[in-house]
A and B are shown apart, each in its own frame.
Chain A
């Protein structure tokens, strides 16, 4: 059976992999799970580190970039987006 990718997005409070999860998403390429907006009120993991302990591999770590002059107090998209994967049999 082919392995397929399952992605977990965790948006954390700070660049620390131990900081708390504030937003999340699961996109399951195996087709076993279907997720949509509003389907959970608590995150699947409290931190990236907790997800790693459960077997998720971190495949993207957000860069920390200096803010553009004049926009230092402006908030926009969530800055600390971690992408994790598991490969599972479809």
Chain B
């Protein structure tokens, strides 16, 4: 891996494990944002960029907009930290919310029930300023480890802790593929764009980031975060995050506040054996 690719830290990865989302404000330079807007207006980002399963780095090879965005070292560092080298392009969409569109999209996840602990990521790229009246995507931090199917989560309209993306141009968010989200109304006179790119790993997602802070004491506290909307399920959510962290770090003994270790304590030794040990 080139030395100039800035990888995520362990603390950032822990935040991803807890929230299912990382946000990078104004990551993409203005000249690339402008070129992406030109490519959008020219219809150059519509449709499939390649067949699903193509190597991500082969996409948009000559583009000074969306292609250049994907090849920014900071963006490559995010991708490499979360899904590793040689990731695959799954699909992308250039989402448009027309002016004076007053209806919010229903809450959903982007695919069918997915029982893997391995995960894809989705980049959410906002190439222009997105004030609240223009919507932004509404995310539900901490929802990514729930096993749900597409729009089956659409009856509630609001959750405590829901987070709208209000941002400046060039902001990128990296989300777990199962994060609950919905597009928001656009009350302005201008079309709103957001480009979403789903990316698959091709390697085991294990210690792919900058692990120099692997044992940072913040990690346990971050993984124990309570987002508020799931009530008394908070400890179940933490258990699922512990499992994800064990997967990511290959540390089967990792725990937060003894939650899984307690359940895993199923002694088989007799009292006599225990006495002589």
Contacts and interface: CB of A to CB of B under 8 A. Distances in A.
Interface residues of B, number: 34
Given A36-B104, A37-B105, A38-B182, A23 B233 contact: no
A75 interface: yes
Contacts of B50: none
Nearest to B259: A73
B192 to A, nearest CB: 14
B159 A22 contact: yes
B230 A75 contact: yes
A1 to B, nearest CB: 27
Interface residues of A, number: 32
A9 B247 CA distance: 37
Interface stretch (B83-91, B144-152, B168-176, B205-213): B144-152
Interface in A13-65: 13-14, 19-26, 34-43
Interface in B153-185: 153, 155-160, 162, 164, 182, 184-185
Nearest to B140: A23
Classify the interface of chain A: helix, strand, loop or mixed.
Answer: loop
Contact of A9 (B105, B156, B236): B156
B233 A75 contact: yes
A23 B229 contact: yes
B107 interface: yes
A9 B107 CA distance: 15
A11 B155 CA distance: 10
Contact of B232 (A14, A21, A37, A38): A14
Nearest 9 interchain pairs by C-beta: A13-B231, A37-B104, A36-B104, A25-B157, A23-B156, A22-B229, A23-B159, A38-B138, A75-B146
Interface of B: 102-107, 138, 145-148, 152-153, 155-160, 162, 164, 182, 184-185, 228-233, 236-237, 239-240
